[in-house]
Amino acid sequence: MPTYEYSCDYCGNDFEVFQKMSDKPVQVCPKCGKHVRRVLSGGIGINFKGSGFYVNDSHASSKHNACNSSKEGGGAHACGGSCCCASGK
């Protein structure tokens, strides 16, 4: 369930409520009983972990591995000879 942030302009009370998206917004402050407004928040950042993402499995390193394997077989570079494996790095 999403967490919604609310703020009371009258007493300054800031609070969070876990609600379903289909629930009606909170209308009154639990502290003073006056009208509250929902505050838009930035949410959280996303951090991808595990295999299968470019952060962990670089596209360049897989290309480099393909070049090394074709180089060992005596064939031309899979990348056309323009990557770091062509210079011997």
pLDDT tens string 55-89:
555 555 555 555 555 445 555 555 555 555 555 55
When pLDDT is averaged across residues 35-49 and rounded to a whole number, the result is 79
Give the model's pLDDT for residue 41. 74
Residue 46's SS3 state is coil
Q: What are the Cα distances from residue 83, in Å, to 45, 61, 68, 77?
A: 34, 10, 10, 9
Q: Is the dihedral of CA 52, 58, 64, 67 positive or negative?
A: positive
Of 63, 43, 45, 66, which Cα lies nearest the Cα of 54?
63
64: which residues sit within 8 A by CB, 6+ positions away?
Answer: 83, 84, 85
Give the model's pLDDT for residue 68. 54
